[in-house]
């Protein structure tokens, strides 16, 4: 459930009519709803009521905007980060360092040092090599890093290949059949306190069965590790729960996920960490855009909007579906190709899509753009970054300025010797 709905024939974010945001901030612009973020945060937390000891660490990569992080910090959420850039954002939003988990296959030495200095809660180590390096760095600093070992359970998440992370040949974690041996080696290192395991098998999961099998495999591994004399107190179950992108699409609910987790983990006796991203932020945001013009096509017309693949990359990158909807629908529909202005055919949001009838100058939105939207923007075609806004009841604020081409031009230099 989200708080984007028609009121008197005009699409609103909570109580703010979207044309007001377009008028005051311009388009394209991301619009996030505080009430929706809070609702999703609450629903996810309540779904895990049966889990006695837990940390819910929002996956910052899905929406790193400071205001969004602040909303979630107020909800008691920690942060899952994959770079020190994300860590700095989480800290800047007031998230306590001990509620920050650092995942990622390519943590650099400099990043490890900065995260150790910040005193973050846990490093999720993705390889033996990384664990040894972290141990050496931490020991050198006179510190002990709390860590979990990320396991690759070799489970097919049944999602898009590019966002699947738990198959044996994916780059993430250590193979489950080598986990015992690697755990033993790392646990004996001075600079680390290896206290648990972590898993994340992929994103936009439309079925929780693969998660259940991965967690079950983890349960067996934990028993084995304990049998070998290791102490396991923390287990990170990652994120991955999918959200509906199409009207009427039904996905596993947080409640179903929570019930499955409670059942599989009931005897583990550990603190569980969760890293949800999309399920919190996805449907809490839209990308508001203006139709530049409608151009005749060989078959269906091209609706050319002022947003493009650099602003919302998912359709171009994964062939992802984002619902397209007029801000002031007339009730009539059309079949159209919805495209951006960028100079490649990949800049296509939808082909032969049955959608609301729109004409030049009309406003429209791409739905479910709150996760993996603005965060994946590029400045391709020198288009800069679009602004982001957060709505709260009948007010809104610009929470990220539009970054124009000039900012990029000003950061570039022509060396003297080219004059």
Instruction: Show binding-site residues for pyridoxal 5'-phosphate.
Output: 240, 275-278, 372
Query: Who contacts 115 (Cβ-Cβ below 8 Å, separation ≥6)?
Result: 84, 87, 100, 102, 107, 123
Helix (H) or strand (E) holding 338: strand 333-339
Q: Is the dihedral of CA 32, 33, 36, 41 positive or negative?
A: positive
- Rank residues 28 and 238 by Cβ distance to ligand LLP and give the closer one: 238
By CB under 6 A, how many residues form the interface with ligand LLP? 22
- Rank residues 40 and 195 by Cβ distance to ligand LLP and give the closer one: 40
Specify the stretch interacting with ligand LLP by CB under 6 A; choose among 38-46, 188-196, 237-245, 388-396: 237-245
65 contacts ligand LLP (rule: CB under 6 A): no
Q: Which of 166, 191, 238, 258 binds ligand LLP (CB under 6 A)?
A: 238
CA dihedral 269, 273, 278, 279 (to 10 degrees): 40
- Rank residues 240 and 340 by Cβ distance to ligand LLP and give the closer one: 240
Specify the stretch interacting with ligand LLP by CB under 6 A; choose among 4-12, 235-243, 353-361, 399-407: 235-243
Query: Who contacts 221 (Cβ-Cβ below 8 Å, separation ≥6)?
Result: 151, 176, 179, 180, 197
Specify the stretch interacting with ligand LLP by CB under 6 A; choose among 5-13, 130-138, 232-240, 384-392: 232-240
45 contacts ligand LLP (rule: CB under 6 A): no
Backbone dihedral angles phi then psi of residue 346, each to the nearest 5 degrees = -60, -20
CA dihedral 317, 321, 326, 329 (to 10 degrees): 170
Q: How far is the CB of 111 from ligand LLP (least distance, A)?
A: 15
Judged by CB under 6 A, the chain residues 318 through 347 that form the site for ligand LLP are 318
Judged by CB under 6 A, the chain residues 359 through 398 that form the site for ligand LLP are 371-372
CA-to-CA distance for 115 and 97, rounded, in angstroms? 9
Q: How far is the CB of 202 from ligand LLP (least distance, A)?
A: 7
CA-to-CA distance for 69 and 77, rounded, in angstroms? 9
User: What is the contact mask toward ligand LLP in residues 104 to 143, using x (rule: CB under 6 A)?
Assistant: ----------------------------------------
200 contacts ligand LLP (rule: CB under 6 A): yes
- Rank residues 18 and 159 by Cβ distance to ligand LLP and give the closer one: 159
Judged by CB under 6 A, the chain residues 274 through 303 that form the site for ligand LLP are 275-279
Residue from 304, 316, 396, 355 nearest 28 by CA: 304
* Annotated catalytic residue 343: yes
C-beta separation of 43 from 37 below 8 A? no
Collapsing DSSP states into helix, strand and coil, what is residue 263?
helix
- Rank residues 136 and 212 by Cβ distance to ligand LLP and give the closer one: 212
Judged by CB under 6 A, the chain residues 7 through 26 that form the site for ligand LLP are none
CA-to-CA distance for 173 and 54, rounded, in angstroms? 22
What is the full DSSP assignment across 138-157?
Answer: HHHTT--EEEEEEEE-----
| 392 phi-psi bin (left φ>0, alpha ψ -120 to 50, beta other) | beta
Question: Where on the chain is the footprint of ligand LLP (CB under 6 A)?
Answer: 59, 62, 80, 103, 163, 165, 200, 203-204, 238-241, 275-279, 314, 318, 371-372
Active site residues: 343
């Amino acid at each position: 459930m989200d708080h984007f709905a028609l009121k008197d024939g005009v699409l609103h974010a909570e109580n703010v009519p979207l044309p007001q945001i377009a008028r005051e901030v311009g388009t394209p612009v991301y619009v996030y709803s505080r009430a929706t973020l809070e609702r999703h945060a609450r629903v996810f937390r309540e779904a895990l009521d049966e889990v006695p000891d837990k940390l819910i660490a929002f996956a910052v990569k899905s929406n790193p905007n400071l205001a969004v992080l602040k909303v979630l910090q107020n909800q008691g959420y920690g942060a899952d980060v994959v770079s020190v850039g994300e860590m700095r954002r989480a800290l800047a939003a007031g998230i306590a360092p001990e509620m920050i988990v650092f995942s990622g296959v390519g943590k650099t030495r400099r990043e490890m040092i900065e995260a150790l200095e910040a005193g973050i809660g846990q490093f999720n180590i993705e390889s033996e090599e990384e664990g040894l390096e972290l141990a050496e760095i931490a020991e050198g600093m006179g510190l002990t890093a709390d860590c979990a070992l990320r396991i690759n359970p070799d489970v097919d998440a049944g999602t898009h290949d590019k966002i699947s992370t738990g198959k044996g040949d994916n780059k993430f974690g250590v193979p489950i059949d080598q986990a015992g041996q690697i755990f033993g080696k790392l646990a004996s290192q001075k600079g680390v306190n290896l206290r648990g395991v972590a898993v994340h098998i992929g994103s936009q999961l439309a079925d929780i069965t693969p998660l259940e099998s991965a967690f079950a495999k983890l349960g067996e591994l934990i028993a084995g590790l304990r049998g070998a004399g290791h102490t396991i107190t923390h287990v990170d179950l990652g994120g991955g729960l999918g959200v509906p992108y199409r009207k009427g699409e039904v996905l596993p609910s947080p409640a179903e996920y929570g019930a499955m987790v409670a059942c599989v983990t009931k005897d583990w006796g550990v603190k569980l960490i969760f890293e949800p991203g999309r399920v919190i932020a996805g449907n809490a945001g839209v990308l508001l855009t203006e139709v530049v013009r409608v151009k005749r096509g060989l078959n269906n017309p091209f609706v050319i909007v002022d947003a493009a693949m650099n602003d919302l990359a998912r359709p171009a990158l994964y062939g992802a579906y984002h619902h397209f909807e007029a801000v002031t629908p007339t009730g009539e529909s059309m079949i159209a190709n919805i495209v951006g202005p960028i100079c490649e055919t990949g800049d296509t949001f939808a082909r032969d899509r049955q959608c609301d009838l729109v004409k030049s100058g009309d406003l429209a939105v791409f739905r479910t753009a709150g996760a993996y939207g603005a965060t994946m923007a590029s400045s391709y075609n020198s288009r800069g970054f679009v602004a982001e806004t957060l709505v709260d009841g009948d007010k809104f604020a610009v929470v990220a300025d539009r970054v124009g081409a000039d900012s990029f031009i000003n950061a570039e230099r022509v060396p003297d010797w080219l004059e």
